[in-house]
Structure 1
Amino acid sequence: MLRRCIQRRMSSSFFNGKVAIVTGASGTIGGAIANALADDGATVFMAARRVEKMRMLEREGLHSIGTDITDENSVVTLFEHVKKKCGKIDLLINAAGIAAPDVSIEELSAADFLQVLNVNVLGSFLCAREAFRHDCKRIINIGSISSMAPRPNSAAYTASKFAIQGLNRALALDGRQRNISVGVLHPGNVASELLSPEIFKQRQDQEGLLDLNDLVRSVLLMASMPPSANVLELTIMPTTQPLVGRG
């Protein structure tokens, strides 16, 4: 009985008729989330700069729009286009993100630091602002466990994910009076294009890597909550990843 109940709650019928925007959809995580939402019946607009990669994913219910989330006009145009085409926007997934070069703080350039903040923080802010303006009722930000336990040589990325944590809470507070739910998912180690082959193998061998499907299921869980419920923060990581403590 419990299994049937869970299956009904996670069924595709919840997303039928829903309109979603997924940023960073040309990447591993964003693309997987966009695909899953479309599979479950949503009309999904993928937003990223790498249009060619998104077009390879296009099918019924899955559309691509070339967007630079660090450019205010580009973001405004994205949301206006979706609203005009569909009449509403139900869900925003802020999945776009980049990492800085793996170098010491002494070697990290101001340009590289600012580039990470522009994509990871400014881009998320601009998209969330437009979501508020168009009365989008649910926003899910993709954070990182780096906002809890940084790695060495990650000043730019870690700073950006701490900022996402603060932005998420501020947005959740501002959305409360308008019944707009805002939450953040903090993934641990997950296979993505941000990892070099060397880092991929190292983390897989020493700490474990999260199955991408499990990350996507977590996003769908957050997105399928009723309007009266908000998953403010959710952390998902490999069971073997050493985050919780020593031992």
Structure 2
Amino acid sequence: MPYSCVDYLGDVTSEGDVKRLLKRLSRLLDDLIFFNNAGIAVIGTLIEDLPLEKYQVVLIVNVVGTFLCTKEAVRQYKKQSPQGGRHIINNGSIAVHTPRPHSISYTSSKYAVTCITKSTALDGRVFDISATQIDIGSTLTTMAKPISVGAMQADGVVRPEAIMDVEHVANAVVHIAGLPNTVQVLGMNIMPIKMTFVGRGRFSLRLSTSVPYCK
């Protein structure tokens, strides 16, 4: 099967740009699998020091952008014959499950993406439209590369983190996109096996020699 690539310069927070993109894609491609990947982050700022405008810009890109693209993708899917049978895949974050320190804007935006994903899955299923959220851990991208040098952990200490190649995320997206329209993956977590995720830190484990007994 030949692959098609379309270049389009636009702003995911502009409804007009998103509409023009979907209109162009509908003319060029028979099948559409939409991957909402655009996102930005402001990390390392205390809650009380975070300017409102910086908080807002993260929400606008990560949440409004995802909503606008989802909105137009759903509109396009409903026009197709047969309807649906397509996938909307959202780039979430494992921050949804366990936040990083000092990341309130990014974390809250990804929680909102979870709501968009679940609402899309619920409202879209009657049209055979599926929605998936991939919550991705530390991956070697331009935005996340500094994490491999050092990132603050839950105990307040900065340590290098394990990081994985973006190819593994791409393979997960391809797998989900290739599923039949009778199957939906609502959510997936993918991360390096040695990433400090659960608890977001390293803590010593003390074993007690006595076991308390409660009657």
Same fold by TM-score greater than 0.5: yes
Which has the larger Rg?
A: 2
- Alignment match of 1:145 (pick from 80, 84, 94): 94
What is the distance in 2 between the residues matched to 1:219 and 1:196? 21
**Mind listing any 5+ residue stretches in structure 1 that lack a counterpart?**
1-15, 17-40, 44-61
What is the distance in 2 between the residues matched to 1:111 and 1:183? 30
Secondary structure at 1:66's aligned position in 2? coil
The alignment status of 1:100 with 2:45, answered yes or no, reads: no
The alignment status of 1:68 with 2:11, answered yes or no, reads: yes
Secondary structure at 2:174's aligned position in 1? helix
Q: Which residue of 2 aligns with 1:77?
A: 20
Deviations, residues 98-144 of structure 1 (Å, cap 9, x unaligned): 01252111211111111101110100000000001001621000000
The answer to whether the 8 Å contact 2:40/2:62 transfers is yes
The answer to whether the 8 Å contact 2:34/2:89 transfers is yes
The alignment status of 1:166 with 2:115, answered yes or no, reads: yes
1:1-247 equivalence runs, <5 A: 16=1, 41-43=2-4, 62-86=5-29, 88-135=30-77, 137-195=86-144, 197=146, 199-202=147-150, 206-245=160-199
Deviations, residues 127-175 of structure 1 (Å, cap 9, x unaligned): 0000010016210000000001001110100000011111100000011
Q: 1:67 to 1:93 in 2, by over 3 A?
A: same
What is the distance in 2 between the residues matched to 1:202 and 1:70? 31
Q: Which residue of 1 aligns with 2:154?
A: none
1:196 Cα deviation from its structure 2 partner: 5.9
Q: Percent identity?
A: 33
What letter is aligned with 2:54?
Answer: D
What letter is aligned with 1:69?
Answer: V
**Mind listing any 5+ residue stretches in structure 2 that lack a counterpart?**
78-83, 152-158, 206-215
> After TM superposition, where is structure 1 displaced by more than 4 Å over at least 4 residues in a row?
none
The answer to whether the 8 Å contact 1:138/1:181 transfers is yes
What letter is aligned with 1:182?
Answer: A
What is the distance in 1 between the residues matched to 2:124 and 2:44? 36
Q: 1:101 to 1:202 in 2, by over 3 A?
A: closer
What letter is aligned with 2:167?
Answer: N
What is the distance in 1 between the residues matched to 2:126 and 2:65? 24
1:207 Cα deviation from its structure 2 partner: 2.9
**Bigger mean CA offset, 207-216 vs 154-163:** 207-216
TM-score (normalised: structure 1): 0.71
Q: Which residue of 2 aligns with 1:29?
A: none
1:241 Cα deviation from its structure 2 partner: 1.2
What letter is aligned with 1:42?
Answer: Y
1:89 Cα deviation from its structure 2 partner: 4.2
Q: What is the total number of aligned residue pairs between the two structures? A: 188
1:227 Cα deviation from its structure 2 partner: 0.8
Deviations, residues 70-94 of structure 1 (Å, cap 9, x unaligned): 01111111111111233x4421000
What letter is aligned with 2:192?
Answer: P
Q: 1:111 to 1:84 in 2, by over 3 A?
A: same
What is the distance in 2 between the residues matched to 1:188 and 1:196? 12
Secondary structure at 1:103's aligned position in 2? coil
